[in-house]
Structure 1
Amino acid sequence: MRTASVLAALALGLASPVMAQSASAQGAADPLPPPVPIEEWPLEKVSRIGLEMYKLDTAAWRATDALVASISQDEARTIRGWLIAPVEDGLRVRFYREGQPDPVPGWDVIMKGRVAGPVTPTAEASLAPDELAQARALATARANIGRLRCSARLNTVIMDDPDSDGWLVWLLTPTPDSGAIPLGGHYRFRISADGGSVLQRDQLSNSCFFADRPPAGARDPMLLYTQIVSRTPVETQVFLSIQNQLTLVITAGNRYFSVGGARIADITDMVNRR
């Protein structure tokens, strides 16, 4: 993050060439409901969780690419999701299939950094209890999405809740074919340890919002986004900043924050001094 560039862009406003233009997926005439405040986290936790989300999401899609290249279309149609667990030499992405009454293991891929290992049939005949709980938690989150939905398809991320014995689940609006950056439409869930109950649902934006990418060759490109459901940035903004290698400038209330990858800085005083 280059603080001087951020401040210069803010001084120039949205007309600055380094600021990407943004467009809402909802029509301009559609009235927006009042924002519902979400559970706010300390910035350190926002940064840490956003980085972990990126690692898990990257492992999932790289493992998925490897799987699709290795199995038949008929086999691929049986897949219902994946679970990620740390192993000694990386992350194990376990794809599970539809089963009765519970989902069953299908294939494993070991991710070592960005490299996907061989696709191997899972040795175990059934999912472990904690894996079943995770699969159930993902299904519970999908069944309890709110009215705001910005894509027919949603990506998922799940991890242990560091503050309880339950799970954190995200339903994420994916990047559309246009390549626009989906800043809105994401949900965060706290799910019970058995995966069956929603303890809390946080809608992390008040509307669908897709930002055009900055022009190719733009110097120090960044995006400006107004956050109205919380007083600080949220973990999906860290995730998107890392994923798109782009600094986000978040305005929340009367404060300004820069999100440059996993680094979050409150730049309000610097902005106000200009």
Structure 2
Amino acid sequence: MRLPLVSLFAALSLGLASAVQAAPDTPTPQVEAWPLQQTGAIGASIFFQDRAAWRATDVLLAHLGGATDHGLIGWIVVEQGDAQLVRFVRGDPAAPRPGYDILVDKTGRPGPAVKSKDVVLPDDQIARYLARATALANIGALRCTASFNPVVLDDPDGDGWLVWLLAATNDVDVVPMGGHYRFHLTADGRTVEKREQLSSGCLNMDRRKAGQSGQPAALFTTVLVASQPLEVHVFLSLLNRLPIYVGAGDKIWSVEGAAIREIDASKER
């Protein structure tokens, strides 16, 4: 598991008040859930973007000799076919400019860090950056971790953005099962339309215990905010390379990467 990325750019959480608007005060108790196949695909997209960001960050730190460039204020990830372009940006948080670009291929292998040849970011990339900044500026009451890793995707149900703030950890053996957020934002990235708390509380699980007692290596959790597994369970399964069994409603589900299936208890005996 990777270290939290936000801590590398302390300026990311500063100077954003003028760029964003306040979010609603209370998270939605029951969260939106997509059909299982779509949930799996969205969870996989979150994983691929998150993986690209932290691997590109490793490359950038090596390029900079291990020291952060204090002109950098964060990053965005832009899909380019099967690859993902990680763009580290600099300047004013309200009007970010290109800094360094790193292309990460579909296997997760990053290329070299190169200084961007662009002078300005396209409008949609500025909006993408502002969407993640807006979410970070409007974090909810549930604080299970000191750091969050943001992921930004197009909203499949509208013209705005979805931003996930994923609870991060410095411990490679800890799986933060709780404390994740999902935000729905406007197309300009400046306004939160809905903030969803994807768990009812904090839950850190020890992945070293997943294979004890002679049982198949897996983790088990319950969900109270939805009647099925969510995209964060897909993300965590892919990140930790472990199946996750999810109790939701009166059913048990198996999440193995992007594949989600309901378990028929009568056939599992």
CA RMSD of aligned residues (A): 2.2
Are the aligned partners of 1:206 and 1:229 in contact in 2 as well (CA < 8 Å)? Answer: yes
**1:225-264 to 2 correspondence within 5 Å?**
225-264=221-260
> Gaps spanning 5+ residues in structure 1: where?
1-32
**Whole-angstrom distance in 1 between the partners of 2:268 and 2:72:** 55
What is the count of residue pairs matched by the alignment? 241
Deviations 1:174-195 (A, max 9, x none): 1332621000000001110000
- 1:44 alignment partner, SS class: helix
**Aligned to 1:77, which of 56, 62, 70?**
70
| Alpha-carbon shift at residue 74 of structure 1 (Å) | 6.1
User: Do structure 1's residue 186 and structure 2's residue 156 form an aligned pair?
Assistant: no
- 2:118 alignment partner, SS class: coil
CA 1:166/1:101 → structure 2, altered by over 3 Å: closer, same or farther?
Answer: closer
User: Do structure 1's residue 126 and structure 2's residue 116 form an aligned pair?
Assistant: no
Match of 1:21 in 2: none
TM-score (norm 2): 0.83
Match of 1:16 in 2: none
**Whole-angstrom distance in 2 between the partners of 1:100 and 1:225:** 38
**Whole-angstrom distance in 1 between the partners of 2:166 and 2:39:** 16
- 2:150 alignment partner, SS class: strand
Task: Answer with 1 or 2: which has the greater Rg.
Answer: 1
Deviations 1:142-167 (A, max 9, x none): 11111001111110100111111111
**Whole-angstrom distance in 1 between the partners of 2:146 and 2:112:** 31
- 2:31 alignment partner, SS class: coil
**1:18-57 to 2 correspondence within 5 Å?**
36-57=29-50
**Whole-angstrom distance in 2 between the partners of 1:229 and 1:123:** 45
| Alpha-carbon shift at residue 220 of structure 1 (Å) | 1.4
**Whole-angstrom distance in 1 between the partners of 2:27 and 2:160:** 29
User: Do structure 1's residue 99 and structure 2's residue 95 form an aligned pair?
Assistant: no
Match of 2:7 in 1: none
TM-score (norm 1): 0.82
User: Do structure 1's residue 202 and structure 2's residue 196 form an aligned pair?
Assistant: yes
| Alpha-carbon shift at residue 215 of structure 1 (Å) | 3.8
Tell me the percent identity: 42
**Whole-angstrom distance in 1 between the partners of 2:170 and 2:68:** 26
- 1:115 alignment partner, SS class: coil
**Aligned to 1:211, which of 177, 193, 205?**
205
**Whole-angstrom distance in 1 between the partners of 2:210 and 2:251:** 29
Are the aligned partners of 1:160 and 1:168 in contact in 2 as well (CA < 8 Å)? Answer: yes
| Alpha-carbon shift at residue 99 of structure 1 (Å) | 2.4
CA 1:63/1:265 → structure 2, altered by over 3 Å: closer, same or farther?
Answer: same
- 1:116 alignment partner, SS class: coil
**Whole-angstrom distance in 2 between the partners of 1:164 and 1:173:** 26
> Gaps spanning 5+ residues in structure 2: where?
1-25
Match of 2:51 in 1: 58
Are the aligned partners of 1:35 and 1:206 in contact in 2 as well (CA < 8 Å)? Answer: no
| Alpha-carbon shift at residue 270 of structure 1 (Å) | 2.8
- 1:93 alignment partner, SS class: strand
| Alpha-carbon shift at residue 172 of structure 1 (Å) | 0.6
Are the aligned partners of 1:257 and 1:266 in contact in 2 as well (CA < 8 Å)? Answer: yes
**Whole-angstrom distance in 1 between the partners of 2:98 and 2:193:** 27
**Whole-angstrom distance in 1 between the partners of 2:93 and 2:157:** 33
CA 1:271/1:215 → structure 2, altered by over 3 Å: closer, same or farther?
Answer: same
Are the aligned partners of 1:250 and 1:259 in contact in 2 as well (CA < 8 Å)? Answer: yes
**Whole-angstrom distance in 1 between the partners of 2:49 and 2:83:** 11
The amino acid of 2:258's aligned partner reads A
**Whole-angstrom distance in 1 between the partners of 2:162 and 2:98:** 22
